[in-house]
Amino acid sequence: MPAKVEKDRARGWIVPVGGAEDKEGGKAILRRFVEVSGGADAHIVVIPTASRLPDTGQRYVDLFTGLGAGAATSLPYETRAEAAREDWLATLQTATGIFLTGGNQLRISTILGGTPVAKSIRTLNAEGVAVGGTSAGAAILSEHMIAFGRGGASPRAGMVSLAPGFGLTNRVVIDQHFRQRDRLGRLLTALAYNPFAVGIGLDEDTAAFVGPDDVLHVVGAGAITVVDASSLEHSSMGSARSGAVICLTGIKLHILDRGATFNLHTREATPSPGTLD
């Protein structure tokens, strides 16, 4: 469950990124993450656990410092025993921003799930620290995480498997590489299990910057598909055989581009100012 936000505090930004974010051009997403983490006063801790590539953590450290962060550090957790390292936990406590890289989200959950690291990330976010992640690092941020599943446009019984995430928020279920890997069906299937949450489908090089007020802001070159199942009228999930198409009625869907917003409290979408002319 999300950590409690005290009355005199504001939760930090939650920033899931759809993967393959621009690292060579304007770097709009990474640049904005530095800003919400404190800019020149930021200390961004990179957690590259999802990746098996040895240079992933250092690459993001270099990117963030090159974009003006005051400091950046990589904590390359590879075992559950390392999640109890007091020196690394102390470094984590100094973060103003925490960023989880891409790779395999089950590596993050199996190595860090239920450890002092996961607890610290939830608590720090509730105290105002920005927490973001790309691809696998995006999927792990919510309470209900899409662990794996098949592509396809239609929801089908058994199409997706869910696992516990870090639980920074229970308001959304996140899927990444969304349009590129044809993942609408598996996001709809996940929501058929849990219609309370809002489905967030992130295209590559696209991020949802969710502020302390639970308003989602779209940043990046692609689109975010928002699936709102709060008015779900009918679902055949309870009776469908494995592999069968799920019948869902009453679902609302939004396609949001850069500059558009979505309020997770009111479930209201606002177009980008540039599309209102």
Is there a catalytic annotation at residue 37? no
> Does 277 have pLDDT greater than 70?
no
Structure tokens given for 133: 């992640």
- Burial (CB count within 10 angstroms: exposed 0-12, middle 13-18, buried 19+), residue 109: buried
**Segment 143-193, tens digit of pLDDT:** 999 999 999 999 999 999 999 999 999 999 999 999 999 999 999 999 998
Of the pLDDT bands very low, low, confident and very high (cuts 50, 70, 90), residue 8 is confident
Is there a catalytic annotation at residue 234? no
Q: What is the pTM of this model?
A: 0.97
Give dist(CA 174, CA 186) in Å, integer. Answer: 11
What does the domain layout of the chain look like in residue ranges? 14-269
- Please, which residues have CB within 8 angstroms of residue 86's CB and are 6 or more apart in sequence? none
Give dist(CA 2, CA 9) in Å, integer. Answer: 15
Give dist(CA 70, CA 52) in Å, integer. Answer: 27
Of the pLDDT bands very low, low, confident and very high (cuts 50, 70, 90), residue 7 is confident
Among candidates 7, 2, 27, 53, which has minimal Cα distance to 205?
27
- Phi, psi for 81 (deg, rounded to 5): -65, -40
* CATH superfamily for domain 14-269: Class I glutamine amidotransferase (GATase) domain (3.40.50.880)
| Residue 16: its H or E element | strand 14-17
Structure tokens given for 192: 């058929």
Is there a catalytic annotation at residue 78? no
Annotated catalytic residue, options 37, 204, 235, 254: 204
Of the pLDDT bands very low, low, confident and very high (cuts 50, 70, 90), residue 275 is low
Annotated catalytic residue, options 135, 143, 144, 235: 135
**Segment 89-147, tens digit of pLDDT:** 999 999 999 999 999 999 999 999 999 999 999 999 999 999 999 999 999 999 999 99
- Burial (CB count within 10 angstroms: exposed 0-12, middle 13-18, buried 19+), residue 64: buried
Annotated catalytic residue, options 43, 144, 177, 254: 177
Give dist(CA 137, CA 134) in Å, integer. Answer: 5
